[in-house]
Homo-oligomer: A and B are copies of this chain.
Amino acid sequence: MSPAEQPQPHRTADVRRPTLNAVAARAGVGRGTVSRVINGSPKVSARSRAAVEQAIAELGYVPNRAARSLATRRTDAVALVVPDAGTRLFSEPYFSGIIRGVSTGLAGAGMQLLLVLTGDEKEHGRLAAYLAAHRVDGVLMMAVHGDDTLPDRLEELAVPTVLAGRRSDRERLGHVRADNRGGARLAVRHLLAGGRRSIGTITGPLDMDVARARLEGYREALREAGVAVADDLVAAGDFTEEGGRLAMRELLRRHPELDAVFAASDVMASGAVLELRAAGRRVPHDVALIGFDDSIVARHIDPPLTSVRQPLEEMGRTMASLLLEEIAHCGTGRREVVLPTELVVRASA
């Protein structure tokens, strides 16, 4: 029995996969032609193309990514950078929704998604170098802080970058965000339509653009209804439950007659509910409450929370397509996209 006839050990992973060369040989054409077919070049005759496609199918050929990447100096991969310091972020529907959109948006283009969790913003120096060195074609960043320097570094290194949300209203990088201002306006209009007149708001940290935009929307809605905008109806929170609680307490102290609150996040609203309950106010009977994000807590707190929903999956898809565009056109056309928000009415208002 010749060695060739011996049964091979069962180690399929070590079996050499067919190469482009093998396809060329089988199709009876040159390597160049196969490459052209794979990359969709128009300069291939119909018969060569057919022969190549058949050979590919017969051999089950799949291009080797590393080899292509080495030759083209592209990686066909983008990194999704998720700051994960506060454990909470990742588990929000915000993230899962956006990630899902990103994933579908990239899959269509044959791009791989590299997940990079970064605990500490201090590593962002190394991180930028890392990303540049490993030549990801682009970077998507979630939850960027106003003072985060990673985006700037990436810009210097000319790495195409798209952010989820902007750092400020002077953001130079491409980004996608929800219409925070419009969403807040919807919420407050709803409260006004319900006959509420003494409407407070619990804001996020005002060094964050989202927080400012939502506050802005609150003010606009009041203004357009001809209701006076009192500064002491605004209490600053920090997007945490405890912060929402404290802000609510402060609002009640300043305005015991308060009959509605717009909280800039569901989590803060859930804190507010606790405080309202402790103060003996019923929701929504005494005080109507609206949150923002339509997160998982909104559906589960008592009473279920009316909230502003963002089109998360679409935001993710849009981020993906903006990035692909930026990669293709090499930095031109970095744009911003604002997607509409929607009010989800539940029992709390």
Is A134 interfacial (CB-CB < 8 Å)? Answer: yes
| Binary interface encoding of chain A residues 147-163 relative to chain B, with 1 for a CB under 8 A from any of its CBs, else 0 | 00000000011110000
Q: Which of A8-16, A168-176, A200-208 contacts B (4 or more CB under 8 A)?
A: A8-16
Chain B, residue nearest A94 (CB): B91
Among candidates B17, B90, B157, residue contacting A100 with C-beta atoms closer than 8 Å: B90
Chain B, residue nearest A137 (CB): B13
Q: How far is the CB of A99 from chain B (nearest CB, A)?
A: 7
Q: A87 touching B96 by the CB < 8 A rule?
A: yes
Q: How far is the CB of A136 from chain B (nearest CB, A)?
A: 10
Chain B, residue nearest A93 (CB): B91
Number of copies of this kind of chain in the complex = 2
Within 8 A of B (CB), among A96-111: 96-97, 99-100, 103-104
Chain B, residue nearest A331 (CB): B11
Q: Which residues of B contact A132 (CB under 8 A)?
A: 13
Is A44 interfacial (CB-CB < 8 Å)? Answer: no
A115-B113 contact given A10-B158, A13-B132, A302-B302, CB 8 Å threshold: yes
Q: Which residues of B contact A104 (CB under 8 A)?
A: 117
A91-B296 contact given A64-B70, A112-B114, CB 8 Å threshold: yes
Is A47 interfacial (CB-CB < 8 Å)? Answer: no
Q: Give complex CA distance A133, B61 in Å.
A: 9
Chain B, residue nearest A72 (CB): B66
Q: A84 touching B100 by the CB < 8 A rule?
A: yes
Q: Give complex CA distance A113, B117 in Å.
A: 10
Q: B301 touching A156 by the CB < 8 A rule?
A: no
Q: B103 touching A117 by the CB < 8 A rule?
A: yes
Q: Which residues of B contact A296 (CB under 8 A)?
A: 91, 296-297
Within 8 A of B (CB), among A256-280: 270
Among candidates B87, B91, B115, B159, residue contacting A115 with C-beta atoms closer than 8 Å: B115
Among candidates B17, B100, B103, residue contacting A87 with C-beta atoms closer than 8 Å: B100
Q: A99 touching B114 by the CB < 8 A rule?
A: no
Is A80 interfacial (CB-CB < 8 Å)? Answer: yes
Q: B99 touching A95 by the CB < 8 A rule?
A: no
A12-B301 contact given A66-B66, A114-B112, CB 8 Å threshold: no
Q: Which residues of B contact A129 (CB under 8 A)?
A: 60, 62
Q: A60, A103, A300 — which one has the most chain B CB atoms within 10 A of its CB?
A: A300
